[in-house]
Structure 1
Amino acid sequence: MPEKEKLRIDKYLWAIRLFKTRTLASDACKAGRVKKDGQNLKASYEVKLGDVYNVAKGAERKVVKVTGMLENRVDAKTAVNFYEDLTPVEETHSFKSMFHAPVLKRDRGTGRPTKRDRREIDDLQDGFFTPVQPDRGEEHE
């Protein structure tokens, strides 16, 4: 694998496959979604071995430690050898649980739901799609 002494952070994040394009990696840096020790990094920041970076990509948060320099994009199996994923397990599971919403399907041709069907659907969805309101500590009689 070609290794380089000086490597830009946007190119590194693209090469290890955290971003699909180098432009997306550079835009993430400009938007302040790539940090080291709480400081925003520019796209031209030089990557060093052993550095730990926090990368926000949509709802997903990653903590990545550099274990090797990679100049060109390679397949995913090879790219894993050049970084260590230090993302806490809680964050990984919370991101994945967002996509385990119940799938509500009705058979084609069954027509509109009856009032009883609608109530069952509402009971099933209750609290899943509505935001939870904080308890204000007020008691009503």
Structure 2
Amino acid sequence: MRIDKYLWCVRYYKTRNMVTEACKKNHVTVNGIIAKPSKEVFPTDKITFRKDQITHIITVLDIPENRVGAKLVDIYRKNETPAEAYEHLELLKLSKQHYRKTGTGRPTKKDRRDIDDYGNEIEEGDDELE
């Protein structure tokens, strides 16, 4: 089976086109050799690819007929990605939240309505003072 189809079948990428792009950018290797999208994979091959700032390492256990359900993926591959890689990703997410809190950018529609309501309350208060 082709490497692009295999990575799509075991649900690492949403589309085969995404896998093809990753192969063209040299993000995918099979047994340490940079792979083109048409590279054939066989059981016991070790696939390494970079996705979402994590270098995934998987071993091919079997070749699926078609795209498989998420629960059946472990039948066809063995995930050998170190746990530190996933921990590093969590730290990156936390650091991004530290520098810029969600919602601190442009006001949302709700924020704008609250601001308008606050402005209207102040104007009504001015009328009462006169």
Work out whether the TM-score is over 0.5: yes
Q: How many pairs does the alignment contain?
A: 103
Q: 2:14 aligns with which of 17, 20, 28?
A: 20
SS at match of 1:99: helix
Q: 1:63 aligns with which of 57, 63, 67?
A: 57
Q: 1:81 aligns with which of 66, 75, 83?
A: 75
Moved over 4 A (4+): none
Q: Please tell me the root mean square deviation across aligned C-alpha atoms, in Å.
A: 2.0
Higher helix proportion (structure 1 or 2)? 2
Gaps of 5+ in 1: 1-6, 111-141
Residue number in structure 2 paired with 1:97: 91
Q: TM (normalized to structure 2)?
A: 0.70
Amino acid of the structure 1 residue aligned with 2:11: R
SS at match of 1:35: strand
Per-residue deviation at 1:95? 1.4
Tell me whether 1:31 sits opposite 2:28 in the alignment: no
Per-residue deviation at 1:58? 3.3
Per-residue deviation at 1:92? 1.7
Rounded Cα–Cα distance in structure 2 between residues aligned with 1:50 and 1:68: 8
Aligned sequence identity (%): 31
Alignment of 1:40-59 (within 5 A): 40-59=34-53
**Greater C-alpha radius of gyration:** 2
CA 1:78–1:31: 2 relative to 1, 3 Å:
same
Give the stretch that moved more between structures: 93-102 or 10-19. 93-102
1:78-112 CA-partner distances (Å, limit 9, x unpaired): 12221011011111210122112336378x679xx
